Structure 1
Amino acid sequence: MEIYHVFTKSIAKFTVFLDHKDYARMIELLKYYKNKPILKFSDYKKLKETKVYYNSVKSETPFVEIIAYCLMPTHIHLVLQEISPSGISEYMRIVLDSYTRYFNKRIGRKGPLWEGRVKRVLVESDEQLLHLTRYVHLNPVSAGIVEKPEDWVYSSYREYIGMEKEKVCNKEKFFDFSKKEYKKFVEDRIDYQRSLEIIKHIILE
C-alpha cells in the first residue's frame, strides 16, 4: 500500500480556518472519514449528542491511514497511506466538500473553497517518510506562526511527542522511535528549515 504527501490549498490564499472551531472541525472530518461513511458527518454529530458512539456507525471499509497532518490558515499537509483503490481521491473529495459546506454556511459564503486538484507525491522510502513528517510538523515554525512546533495545536506533532491524548494518526504502524527521540529529531532541524524558508522567499521575489 502506497504512501503519499498530500497537499491542498485555498483559492487565492483565502483564510479557510478562522479560529479554533474551524480547525477542530477539519480535524474531526479527517478522523471521521478515514473509513467509507455510512452517515454524513452532520448526521453523525446529531447521533453523537445522544450518546450513539462512532464505533456503532462507522464503516469497516477504510479509505486511508493518516500518518501525519498539519493544518495551516490557507492550506493543508497530509501524509496518507492509501488503503483502498482511489481511496485518497475519494477521502479528500468527501472531507473537503464537507468542510466547504460547513464553512460557507458559517460565514454566508457560496462557491468553491479549494484550488484545483489535490496534489500528491509518492513517498519512496522509510527514510523519506520520516523526514517528510518532520517537514510537515515544522510548517508553522517555518511560516513564522510559532516558535516551537508543539505550540501549534493543529498538527499531529503534539500527538507524536505525547502532548495530545486525541489519537488521529496511526504512527505506531510506521515508526518505532520514542517520543523523546522524535522530538530531538525535529528540533535539530528547526533553524535550518527556517533559513530555507527565508531563502525561498528571496528567490521568489
Structure 2
Amino acid sequence: MSQFNQCIAIRYFQRLCTYYTNSGMTNHLHLLISPFDKVQLSKFMQTMANRYVRYFNATRNRTGTIWEGRFKSCLVDSENYLFTLYRYIEMNPVRAGIVSSIAEYPWSSYGYNGLGEENSLITEHKLYQDLGEDSEVRAKNYQKIFKTLISTQQEQEITDATMRGEVYGSEGFHLEINKLISRATKLTAHGGDRKSEKYRNQAGCSIDGLK
C-alpha cells in the first residue's frame, strides 16, 4: 500500500485531483477524490495504475497487467452523502473480515480522519473541517459518525452506482446533474419498450465509469 501512496502522490502533486479518503484492500483499492474534470480523472487513474504495475512486475520478475479492467466510478452528492461514502470506504476491511476494528487497519485514511495521524496526501473536505475547530476535535467527532453504520441497502446502492457509472445522491441531485449532461443519471430495470424515451436514456448511460 505504501507503493500505491507513492504512485498517488506523483499525480496528486501535479494537481490533477483532490484526494480525500481511501482504503487499500487485498485485490482492489477504494478512493474518494475530486478531479478537476473527467479527463483528469482518467489521467490520474491510468498513471497511478501503470506505475504500480511496473513496480509490481519489477519486484516479482513478471510481465503483463495485474488489473481486470478499467476503473469504476460514480459521481457523489457530497452535500448529503459524503460521510456515507467515507464510512463505506473506510469500513471495507471490517466488512471483509480482515480486522475487527477499523482503527487496526493501517492501509486506510481512517488513521488521519479518525485518529489524527499524519498523511500529507489527504485534503480535508470542507464538511470534514466543519466537524471541529482543530484536528483533535474533528477526529473525535469523526469517530462518532462511525457509531452508526451504513445499511446494507446503502452499501448496495453505492456498489451499484459505482459499477454502473451512475450518480449517487438525492433525487434533487440526480435532476440537477441530469440537466447538465442531458442524459439519465440512474439505470432502470432492463426490458420494456425499446422505442420509449425512458429506455433510450437508460441505454445511453455508461456502465463502466466516467469516460
- 2:139 & 2:78 partners in 1: Cα distance? 21
Give the Å deviation of 1:174: 4.0
> CA RMSD, aligned part only?
2.0
Q: In the alignment, what sits opposite 2:86?
A: 133
In the TM superposition, what is the alpha-carbon distance from 1:115 to its structure 2 partner?
Answer: 1.5
Q: CA deviation at 1:83?
A: 1.7
Alignment of 1:68-87 (within 5 A): 68-84=21-37, 86-87=39-40
Q: TM-score, normalization: structure 1? A: 0.66
Secondary structure of 2:65's aligned partner: coil
| Residue ranges of structure 1 left out of the alignment (5+ in a row) | 1-22, 37-61, 198-205
Unpaired runs of at least 5, structure 2: 132-137, 157-211
Q: Which residue of 1 aligns with 2:2?
A: 24
Runs of 4+ in 1 over 3 A off after TM superposition: none
Measure, in 1, the Cα distance between the counterparts of 2:125 and 2:77. 19
> Deviation of residue 173 (structure 1)?
3.5
Q: Distance in 1 between matches of 2:125 and 2:80?
A: 15
Describe the SS at the equivalent of 2:59: helix
Pick one of 137, 142, 147 that aligns with 2:100. Answer: 147
Count how many residue pairs are aligned between Structure 1 and Structure 2.
147
Same amino acid, percent of matched pairs: 29
Matched, 1:189 2:149: yes
CA-CA distance at 1:87 after TM superposition: 1.0
Residues 116, 139 of structure 2: 8 Å contact kept:
no
SS of alignment partner, residue 73 of structure 2: strand
Number of the residue aligned with 2:171? none
Moved more, 90-99 or 155-164: 155-164
Relative contact order (alpha carbons < 8 A, sep ≥ 6): 1 or 2 greater?
A: 1
Using the TM superposition, give the Cα deviation of residue 188 of structure 1 relative to its aligned residue in structure 2, in angstroms. Answer: 2.6
The residue that corresponds to 1:14 in the other structure is none
Letter in 1 for 2:2: A
Amino acid at match of 2:48: V
Work out whether 1:106 is the aligned partner of 2:59: yes
Following superposition, the deviation at residue 187 of structure 1 comes to 3.1
Q: CA deviation at 1:167?
A: 2.5
Counterparts of residues 51-90 of structure 1 (less than 5 Å): 62-84=15-37, 86-90=39-43
More strand by share: 1
CA distance in 2, matches of 1:173, 1:84: 19
Post-superposition Cα deviations, 1:147-171, rounded to whole Å, max 9, x if no partner, equal: 1111111010110023421222112
**Counterpart in the other structure of 1:41:** none
Tell whether 2:71 aligns with 1:118: yes
Distance 1:70 1:127 in 2: 21
Contact 1:137 1:156 in 2 (8 A): yes
Do the aligned partners of 2:12 and 2:121 also contact (CA within 8 Å) in 1? no
Other structure's SS at 1:111 match? coil
**In 2: Cα distance, 1:187 partner to 1:156 partner:** 17
